[in-house]
Amino acid sequence: MKYRPDIDGLRSIAVVPVVLYHAHFYFMRGGYVGVDVFFVISGYLITAMIAPDIEAGRFSIAGFYKRRVLRIFPALFAMLLATAIGACFVLTPPEMKDFAWSLAAAATSVSNIFFSGQSGYFDAPALSKPLLHTWSLGVEEQFYLVFPLFLLAAQKLAPHRMKAALALLSALSLAAGAWVSLSHPVQAFYWMPFRFWELSLGALGALGAFGRIDGALPRNVLGLAGFAAILLAASHFDDNTPWLFATTVPVFGALAVMVAGAGGETVVGRFLSLRPMVFVGLISYSFYLWHWPLIVFQHETGALLLNAPYKLGRYVIVSLSFVVAALSWRFIETPFRRGFGLKPPRAVLQGAAAAMATSVAAAGAMLASEGLAWRYPPGAAAVAEFLNDSGHARIKRHGCFAESWSQFQPEACLAPKPGATLVLGDSHAAHLWMGLSDVYPNQTFLLAAGPSCKPLVNDGAFALPVCRSLMDYVFEDYLPKHPVSRVILQARWTDAEISRLPATLARLKSLGIETIVVGPVVEYDVALPRLLAESIRLDDPKRVDEGRTAAIFARDRAMAAKMAELGVDYVSLVDLTCPNGACVLYADGVAPLLFDRDHLTEAGARFLARKMGFQ
C-alpha cells in the first residue's frame, strides 16, 4: 500500500476531539465520535495491507498477528504497567478490585465486553475507571481476529462476490446496532458485532467498492463534506445524541475523506498532510492510550496537580498527555516495531502471550489480596466503600432525572398534587429530593432535574439541550398550568449564576409560588470518602480540612446576601454542614456525607433534609 500522509492527518482529527471531550472542553462535547473515525481508518488500512497478499496467495495469519502485536502491545502494556503502579498509590481497595478485573480484561482484549457490564461510557462512575478507554481496543482486536479469516474464506469461495458479501454483513451489523441501541444502548455501544460495520465500511473503501473519483471538483466536494461532517459531529453532538446519528455521521464523514483522497489530491488531503497534522496522527495511538489514565488520576485524586484550578488542570493534563504520547511513540512504539520486525512470528506471539499472562496473574494477585487491602487499615477500607454509594443509581432508576428529554415523563414525575413541593435543578437537586422524600414521607416532593441543569429561565445560551427543554417546559408550560405550593431551587451553583437568579425568582413570584433557594453543598477537591480513608491511613486529620474547597464558603455568603436583598428564603447547606466552622463529615457516624466531591450519599441527603426542618 502506498503511504498516504493524509490518513495519518485524519488520525489527528480523530484523537484530538476524543482527548478534548474527555478533558471536558465543552466546545468538543461530541468528541467521542473520534473513536468511530478511528474504526473506519483501521478497517481501511488493515484491508489495504492484507487484501493484496490474500489475492496473491502470500498472506500469513501468523505474520498478520505478529504485525498487529508489534503495533498494539508495546505501548498498551507499558500503559497498563504504569497505570497499575499509579493505581497502587491512589486507588482504594474497592476500586483496586474493580481495576484488577479491568486489567485482566484489557490484557486479553475483552475490555469492551467487561465494561458493558459496568456503568455506561457516559455515566459519572466512568471517571473512576482508568482503563475504560481500552474498550475500543477490544473492539478492534476482536475484529482483527475474525476479519482476515473472512477475507481468506471469501477469496477462496467467491472472490468476485467478496465486496457484496462484506457490504451485506455491514448492513446487517448497522441494522442490528440501530435496533439494539433502542433497548440496550450500552451493548450497542461496546460490543464488536454492532461496531463491525464501521470497520468493514473502511474495508470496503480500501477494496474500491465505492469507485475511484477522478475529477478534482467531485473529489474536493466529497472530501470537504466528509471533513465537515466529522467536525459537526464532534462539536455539536452530545452524550444524548441517538446512537444511529452519533455513529453514521462521523463514519461516513471519515469514509468520504479517505475515498476522496484515494482518487487524487484534495484540499482536505493537503491540509491533513501538513507535518503537524501528520505528527499528531503518528502519535495518536499513544495519545489515546495515555490521556485517559492521567485524566482519571487527576480527577479522582488530584495526584498530578493538587488544588489546581479546574480550567488550568484541563490544559495541563492535555499537554502532559501529548508529551507522554510523543515519548511513548519515540521510545516504545517505534523501537519495538523496528527492533522486533525481523523476529519470527512465533517469538513475537510468545512474548505477547507472556505479557498477557503476567497481566492476568497480577490482576489475580490484586483480587486475592482484596484490592491490596493491606495498604489501608480496616476503618479506612470501610469508609472507602462509600465511593460506590447507591444513591445516584437510585435517582436514575426513579426516572425523573432527565439524562435526555425523551426519558423524562412529565405525567409521572410532575403529577399535580395538593400542597406539592417541586425540587428543580441538577443532580444536586435530585440528591436533595431523595433526602426530603425519605425524611418527610407525609409530604409530596416532585422532581424535575437533569445533569448540569441549572434551574433558571432563559438559560439557553449556557445550557445543554436536555436542560433547555426541561426548564422551558417547567417554567413556560407546567408551572403556569399546574401551580405547586412551593419550588425549591438547588444546583451546583457557580458565581456567574448568582446574577442570573433574580429573573428566575421574578418569574416564580409572578406565578404566586413560594420559592426557596438552597445553597451549594460543601465540596472537596478529592472525593470525601477517599480523603477520609487517606486521613485514617496516614493518621492525619488535617488531610480532610486541607481538601475542602474554600471557594464554596465565599459563594454561599454571596448567595445568602443576594437572597436577603431580594427577600427570598435561603437555606445555607454550608451553615448546616459546618456550624461554628467545624464541618460534619459523617451523616450517621458511619457514612460519609458525600460519596464523591460534591454529591450526597443517601445517609448524607437524609441528614441535611432533617437539618432543613421542613413542615
Quick: pLDDT tens for 6-16: 999 999 999 99
Residue 420, pLDDT above cutoff 60: yes
d(CA 287, CA 19): 8
Backbone angle region of 521, left / alpha / beta, with phi > 0 → left and psi within -120 to 50 → alpha: beta
d(CA 516, CA 523): 21
pLDDT mean over 574-579: 93
* pLDDT 10s digits, 72-81: 999 999 999 9
* pLDDT 10s digits, 113-166: 999 987 655 455 566 789 999 999 999 999 999 999 999 999 999 888 999 999
> Can you give the pLDDT at residue 123?
53
> Can you give the pLDDT at residue 122?
44
Q: Cβ(39)–Cβ(247) under 8 Å?
A: no
Residue 383, pLDDT above cutoff 50: yes
Q: What share of the chain is helix, strand, coil (3-state, %, to 5)?
A: 70, 5, 25
Phi and psi angles of residue 178, each rounded to the nearest 5 degrees, phi first: -65, -40
> Can you give the pLDDT at residue 541?
83
> Can you give the pLDDT at residue 489?
96
First CA to last CA distance, the chain? 75
DSSP characters over 195-208: THHHHHHHHHHHTT
CATH 3.40.50.1980 fits 384-612, yes or no: no
Q: How many CB atoms lie within 10 A of CB 531?
A: 24
Q: Give span(s): CATH 3.40.50.1110, the chain.
A: 384-612
Average per-residue pLDDT for the chain: 90
Phi and psi angles of residue 132, each rounded to the nearest 5 degrees, phi first: -55, -35
More confident residue, 283 or 409: 283
> Can you give the pLDDT at residue 413?
84
Alpha helix positions (H), 191-309: 196-206, 216-236, 243-262, 267-272, 275-282, 284-301
Residue 462, pLDDT above cutoff 70: no
* pLDDT 10s digits, 345-361: 899 999 999 999 999 99
Cell numbers for 479, please give them: 408551572
Residue 562, pLDDT above cutoff 90: yes
> Can you give the pLDDT at residue 486?
92
> Can you give the pLDDT at residue 124?
52
CA–CA distances in Å: residue 455 to residues 116, 426, 450, 475, 524: 33, 8, 10, 9, 23
Residue 258, pLDDT above cutoff 60: yes
Bridge partner list, 515: 487
Residue 496, pLDDT above cutoff 90: no
d(CA 103, CA 356): 10
Q: Coil, strand, or helix at residue 615?
A: coil
> Can you give the pLDDT at residue 199?
97
Q: Cβ(47)–Cβ(202) under 8 Å?
A: yes
> Can you give the pLDDT at residue 127?
64
Q: Of 136, 100, 110, whose CA–CA distance to 291 is shortest?
A: 136
More confident residue, 223 or 402: 223
> Can you give the pLDDT at residue 343?
84
